[in-house]
Amino acid sequence: MPKDYRGERALLLAAVKEMALLGLVTGSSGNASMRLPLEHGLERFLITPASKDYSKLAADGLVAVNSEIEPVDGDGVPSTESLLHLAIYRARPDVGAVMHTHSVYATALAVAGRPIPPVMDEMVVYLGGGVEVASYGFPGSEELATEAVKALGNRRAVLLRNHGLCGAGASPDDALQACVLAERAAHVFLLAEAAGGATLLPADAVEAERGAYLMRSGLKD
Ligand SMILES: [Zn+2]
């Protein structure tokens, strides 16, 4: 008898609907997932289906997959970016949810190949520092997943070159907040550059805030 993961479906769906309402994606672009409890020692993930408009997505439209990205519960086809999500879960035991968006300002910087340096305290406190740009990988490819993990490091947001943004967190809402914050940082950074040039946070503030981030997240440098 397959589990229906009702509670997890509700949590992920709420974050996905919010992602669409906030305009971080359009149509069926972007995707989101969450880690499910181990079942007989095996990993399970809940992920958005491929090519489904978020306004029409219901909780039972989310697909539960195993670590081979084979559906174990739900009828839909798993997101074409499932490899990206899986690679982040493998590299980061602290991450319980991943969200990938195409929000405008973050994508503009991803297209320009420009990382967002730590210019606001909240970036370091909640994202773990600046937001790096991963080298280009074809959408859905192993290469995109590998490069994203490399550039994400132990932070919570990464820009995907010529593509978009990826956020990670303990829960779906946490991953959504990482995407919202990274998008806001991209917007502010671009405005600051246009207003005469962004300035960096003092190095000692970055060090103290990053220490607090690592401790809270149970991570090490
Ligand atoms: Zn995408």
Q: Which domains does the chain have, with CATH numbers?
A: 6-217 (3.40.225.10)
Q: Give the pLDDT band (50/70/90) at residue 6.
A: very high
Q: Which residues have CB under 8 Å from 34's CB, separation 6+?
A: 8, 11, 12, 45, 46, 96, 97, 98, 171, 172
What is the per-residue pLDDT across 105-144, written as a single tens digit (0 to 9) for each?
Answer: 999 999 999 999 999 999 999 999 999 999 999 999 999 9
Mean pLDDT of 44-67: 93
Is 81 a residue of the active site?
A: yes
CB hemisphere CA count around 220 (13 angstroms): 0
Q: For residue 55, what are the CA distances in angstroms to 13, 22, 40, 170, 212?
A: 11, 12, 34, 25, 38
Which residue among 8, 81, 147, 209 is the active-site one? 81
pLDDT of residue 1: 40
For the whole model, what pTM was predicted? Answer: 0.96
Task: Supply the mean pLDDT for the chain.
Answer: 95
Residue 159 Cα, ligand 1 centroid: separation in angstroms? Answer: 11
SS3 36: strand
Residue 122: closest CA among 167, 84, 68, 177: 177
Kindly report the number of other CB atoms within 10 A of residue 207's CB atom. Answer: 12
pLDDT of residue 27: 80
Residue 45 Cα, ligand 1 centroid: separation in angstroms? Answer: 19
